[in-house]
Amino acid sequence: MTSARTPLIAGNWKLHNTVAESEALAGAIAAHVGNGLACEVVVAPVATSLAAVRETLSGTAVGLAAQNSHWEDSGAFTGELSPVLLLDVGCTHCIIGHSERRQYFGETDAGVRKKVSALLVHKVVPIVCVGESLDEREAGKTLDVVLGQVDAATDGLDAVALAPLVIAYEPIWAIGTGRTAKAEDAQEVHAAIRSRLAELKGESWATTVRILYGGSVKPANADELLSQPDIDGALVGGASLSAENFIPIIDAGVSRAEFSARRRSLEL
């Protein structure tokens, strides 16, 4: 039966935009989304803009995401933000384990696992990033690397606790390079992730988990990527920095949702 998973389009603004720039971009996106579309939309500004963007998004269906979190609620952790603080500022989602965090800041699988658990306790949705480097891909290690990261992020947590979890497959070699995995290749990895989730926590749960694609998603390739059965949305980097580019990707998510709804109605 066709999936009933609601597509999720998430914009990761990384280290870009002042508070004023963030407010302007959030306002343009919120004006398009309004009180809700057939897909879910979240944006992840820099930490200094979270409170301002929350106010801009108030009364709309656009969710607020953080780009990282610590696993402790408080303590002597200079420079960190906790799930408690993210929730306090209005975050509904948090990106965890992004390849840039792993590559430049020493993020480990064990750390990702602790952050996932802490976010779930506080009802913040973890968007867990997994992905392989170009060297790993060319060595035929894509699934070993990606599924190993999936295993680590969910270790020790049951399906009930993990219910809100979102996975984002982001091939590192395609991030910010303009290179994108072919839609069928991305689908193959997404299907393998879903199969592993079923093995780990049960098929009934695995069929509900949204798996996003995050590797140079642009208006030109969004429709093709989101037409794949196991690609449930996108984690968008550079193209999320302008409403002109991000809104067509949101619309591709809406089209995916509407197509799936029509298919389900025909199957009933």
Q: Tell me, what's the pLDDT at 134?
A: 86
The tokens for 158 are: 């049951």
Q: Tell me, what's the pLDDT at 245?
A: 98
Q: In which residue ranges of the chain is pLDDT below 50?
A: 1
* CA–CA gap between residue 224 and residue 184 (Å, rounded): 9
pLDDT tens, 4-57?
899 999 999 999 999 999 999 999 999 999 999 999 999 999 999 999 999 999
Task: Check if 170 is active-site.
Answer: yes
Query: Which listed residue (98, 100, 107, 190) is catalytic?
Result: 98
Q: Tell me, what's the pLDDT at 261?
A: 81
Taking the CA atoms of 181, 184, 185 and 187 in sequence, report the sign of the dihedral they define: positive
Q: Tell me, what's the pLDDT at 263?
A: 73
Query: Which listed residue (70, 132, 170, 190) is catalytic?
Result: 170
Q: Tell me, what's the pLDDT at 262?
A: 76
Q: Tell me, what's the pLDDT at 215?
A: 84
| Predicted TM-score (pTM) above 0.85 | yes
